[in-house]
Structure 1
């Protein structure tokens, strides 16, 4: 299992979950993906770290009272300077939701609303470098902005996070671009303006790699989660959208069924 020492600047480097029932969530993800979890010291507010094969892959924290942003996975992009990123975001058409703050010893973080209305985090690493492994079974494998304003999202991520954008498809039926880092595609932006209901905003979604998509969604049901879309095959794998027992949504991706 290849390790990852750090993420390229601007690329997804971490995900975490705001959960209404963190114990139930931890039990679910451990059983589904073979993760192990470890609670942090009290100074970190009950933050839980998930590991796969001993490497960090995700985090979770208790939802705060009165905060409607709960049972949601957040994607964080790597930055060398969270304060500089916070200055760049409004200039690129976004908004600062949470000013940069220091997590003692671990790094510095901020939260933003991108120009298309999607929530995204930024992480400036110190001791915590982000993912220890990605793209392997049981680990995050892809990160995608599902955007209701694709034309605003593209320049935002280029200007605020330095993305090198590549057009994967630009037809009326399917518009999709990727962020390339060192020549490697590490994230995507999907034009969902015709797909999302009015009440659903732009949002980031994470894909977790599995060996067998159908077996994984059967396990989701056994563990009290929900299958939100039936699996479908693409040239990139067999995918399905699911939710944990508290309602947090994420994607599962595995090989195309034989």
Structure 2
């Protein structure tokens, strides 16, 4: 996978891209990225990329020309038809399903806005996806782009050390993940559940599934509405519901 990120502040990405999983994945050639300062594409002699909104109002609006030209230069060079993502508070709420969808692409272009917003023609005639990472407003799209890249890259083949990690993450199964424990078995009187040290893999899997359902029921009950649950899962949930009441 190759990812191009259009931003006015490429230096913001150095800490995130040069550490942890993203750095290892890049060093191991699991993906590549390019930070594009689209200010370099502006035809404005003062290097401006924004202007006052037609009709008046507060703030400045990103002009279409430098964004269109930057994307066109990238696609011409790469000779691909990428997914072009606009980071925007009005976009589709980002979730694990969307991350999994994007992880199947060969080329992503992510546009990070700034100021009051985008010229509407960018939204209507250039992008393929609009993504929001939450119902709040940030100074720019850079932090959102980092979230998207991190969540997508970790899903690429052979990026995580354990290939079972990503499929069992919270939301990948539609449920929140079960609790985890490690050594010591007894820490200040707080003990690991006996079943996890029993060596009985069937009982362990049953415990984990039950705890996953329980945690989802307690914390994000709405996630259960769209899931196709087995008869056994429904029985587990009935027990959880009784305990809760």
Q: Which structure: larger Rg?
A: 2
Query: TM-score normalized by structure 1?
Result: 0.30
Which has more helix, going by share of residues? 2
Which has more strand, going by share of residues? 1
